[in-house]
Amino acid sequence: MLSTMQDGNLSIANLLRHGSVAHAASEIVTWTGADARRSTFAEVGRNSARLANALRGLGVTGDQRVGTFMWNNAEHMVAYCAIPSMGAVLHTLNIRLFPDQLVYIANHAEDRVILVDGTLGPMLAKHLPSMTTVEHVIVTGGDAGVLEAPHGVEVHSYDELLAAQPDVFDWPDIDERSAAAMCYTSGTTGDPKGVVYSHRSIWLHSMQVCMSDSMRLAQGDTALAIVPMFHAMSWGLPYAALMVGASLVMPDRFLQPGPIAEILAAERPAFAAAVPAIWQGLLQHLEAHPQDISHLREVIIGGSAAPPSLMHAFEERYGVPVLHAWGMTETSPLGSVARPPARTTGRERWAYRYTQGRFPASVRARLVGETGAELPWDNESVGELEVRGPWIAESYYGGADVDPEKFRDGWLRTGDVGTISPDGFLTLTDRTKDVIKSGGEWISSVGLENHVMSHPAVVEAAVIGVPDEKWDERPLVAVVVAEGQQVTAGELREFLTDKVARWQMPEQWTFVDEVPKTSVGKFDKKRLRTSYSQGELDVTRA
């Protein structure tokens, strides 16, 4: 028996039609460093049509890939809308990747056109001669003449190109399972891997971002989207905003604590999202330059574990609840949000908030042990997390032969290790590649990091396993001390005595100016291990 329901493609074009008409007055606010420039959703719709017409004229007639090398701003939002809606594929290029990785993914995706922010033009120009498929570069927010391109690559001014185009476009009816956008992973070994999102997966993911057990993005909200649009689709905020009419504040290149504080004061958003490093920096800034940020209804932290000390500081000092979320490029990226059950209070409520969150109905999860057996959801059994669902990748771009070990029986192997509670809350204890195996027992690097970062003199702490003749591996802690503070390795060991088991206690410590970060703001433990092996760290034993 079949249903009597109509069918229709869940396409980005339909999102754009809806957002630019039903929520025409909602805004994309781009910070300029001193104030803001504003574009309504109606203007975004008209500029999306202009960009689509321009790209047609440049030979984008099908599912060719169009890259973006841009900050979070209104022009990037237009690209988000126009490129998938016309049937092409949006490819967000991570501006923080190493040059060889950047060139690799542009060539692997076969980018035909790249939109580049004027401030990033010189950086892109260095790599263009090695990007063999690029035929056109469109420069936004700057003088196109400053970008030197190799022979065979035409350079265009975004403003001039769009000014010559009509503000209407006959958006095609696109199969919802066709490619809409693609991102490449940053944390894998070997070459980056491409993840291709469908129109359908983006639509369903956008709905989840707006749901009450998720980010609760809603009509009338103003959301500060600090998480980059070149990383995991800015956690789904751009398309979710189109869906419900939430205004977005885009920080452009002004991502330091001082400018973020200025943006908060000027625009007073109700919601914000970024990785822990951003919030650690803002917290330090607020301690030195107090201001009211209670207009923030809540803040989402993802990308890596949010230290409980950071969560308590924002809520108890500034009245801003911090919610933990988990996800990855392969999960679009929203996998879970730590919104506690309504019945909970006090310590129980905080215990839920320390987790990575509960899986929504569309994300199925399981834990798999070292023998390959599925483990129970008892909040004690530790295994590798595997997930599946309508916005979870089932392979990488290029087919089943690309890193096939990442996928098992239709499940994505996340590489994350942890437990799941009987009511579906995930607690991650480590990455499979970062867990410390000492004397036959596992030590959670994340757990140690959170305990060390709860010390008032510590800003950041990253833990890696280093070789040990007796125990196989032992933890080494890299510590960043807060400005104006002092603390010794011995004092930190004493601080940990009632927090970790004796056999887990670190003996080796190193004090650094900054923990190295990956292109998406996570602790780069691979670089820490290299620095240790090459004798570049000043290690203290305590």
Residues identified as active-site? 185, 330, 437, 442
Burial label for 150, CB within 10 Å (0-12, 13-18, 19+), is exposed
Is 122 in contact with 114 (CB distance < 8 Å)? no
414: part of which helix (H) or strand (E)?
strand 411-420
Single-letter amino acid code for the residue at 376: P
The residue with tokens 């030590």 is 443
Distance of alpha carbon 45 from alpha carbon 28, whole angstroms: 12
How would you list the strands of the sheet with 539-541, edge to edge? 458-468, 472-481, 508-511, 539-541
Q: What are phi and psi of 517, to 5 degrees?
A: -120, 155
Is 252 in contact with 299 (CB distance < 8 Å)? no
Is 40 in contact with 27 (CB distance < 8 Å)? yes
Distance of alpha carbon 321 from alpha carbon 297, whole angstroms: 7
Is 364 in contact with 420 (CB distance < 8 Å)? no
Token pair, residue 285, equals: 């800034």
Distance of alpha carbon 220 from alpha carbon 436, whole angstroms: 46
DSSP percent split of the chain into helix, strand, coil, nearest 5:
30, 25, 40
Is 296 in contact with 308 (CB distance < 8 Å)? no
Q: Which residues contact 332 (CB under 8 A, 6 or more apart)?
A: 197, 201, 202, 205, 232, 233, 236, 391, 392
22: part of which helix (H) or strand (E)?
helix 12-22
The residue with tokens 């639509």 is 203
Q: Which residues contact 278 (CB under 8 A, 6 or more apart)?
A: 226, 255, 260, 521
Distance of alpha carbon 163 from alpha carbon 140, whole angstroms: 13
Distance of alpha carbon 51 from alpha carbon 75, whole angstroms: 10
CB 8: neighbour CB atoms within 10 A? Answer: 9
DSSP-H helix ranges across 187-227: 199-210
Distance of alpha carbon 356 from alpha carbon 364, whole angstroms: 15
Distances (CA, A) of 444 to 176, 376, 406, 433, 489: 41, 20, 22, 11, 19
Distance of alpha carbon 362 from alpha carbon 214, whole angstroms: 12
